[in-house]
Amino acid sequence: MSTSPGKIILVDGPSSSGKSTLAKALQDALTEPFWHYSIDHIFAAGCLPMSRMRSGEFEWSQMREAFFDGFHRTLPALADAGNNLIVEHIIETREWMVRLLGLLGHFDVFTVGLRCTLPELERREAARGDRPAGDAKRDFETLQGLCLYDLEVDSTQPLNENVERVIQSWAGRQSPCAFERMRHSPKS
């Protein structure tokens, strides 16, 4: 059976910027079925030995590189099988971006940058209580310029307006998209 490859909407932004909220709302609004896929889902599913990590028996720092490499490698496998994906991610390094460009180069990838002010990120991070203090600030300061976007949205704006903007921009996307431009950039 021949399957068309899935399409990918890649939502990138700092911790606590609202990636999960936007991804879930997009999943509910898009006219085609899309998976909502993120590292938070892998953590929540119990795939990692969290109790042994918390006890110090296993160190996250020793597992982190392989974890993210595996996460990145699952994306083309899922899309190759014909699954449309809304991937929420924090693209932390140029190396990760280069890896994603190589892995996803032959897919239809639409990139969305999700932004808001640092004070708002810090307020959300504190209100959540499930992230280490300072993650949002670190992401805010280090993520600038790692990725080109087809669309940037401000998560302090109404969710329904952001969803509509993403859907309209995605439906009207033209080649070369931001992902293609990054692939052919001398920096990548």
**C-alpha dihedral sign at 100, 104, 106, 108:** negative
Per residue in 30-85, pLDDT (tens digit) is: 999 999 999 888 888 888 888 898 888 888 888 889 999 999 999 999 999 999 99
pLDDT at 23: 97
Cα end-to-end distance, the chain, whole Å: 35
Q: CA 124 to CA 117: how far, in whole Å?
A: 11
Please name each of the domains of the chain with its CATH number.
7-183 (3.40.50.300)
Residue 45 contacts residue 123 (beta carbons within 8 Å): no
pLDDT above 70 coverage of the chain, percent: 94
pLDDT at 49: 87
Residue 116 contacts residue 154 (beta carbons within 8 Å): yes
pTM across the whole model: 0.89
Torsion-angle region of 32 (φ positive above 0: left; ψ -120 to 50: alpha; else: beta): beta
Q: CA 49 to CA 52: how far, in whole Å?
A: 6
DSSP string, 36-55: EEEHHHHHHTT-S-HHHHHT
pLDDT-derived band at 1 (thresholds 50, 70, 90) equals low
Count how many Cα atoms sit within 13 Å of the Cα of residue 156 in the half-sphere of its side chain: 9
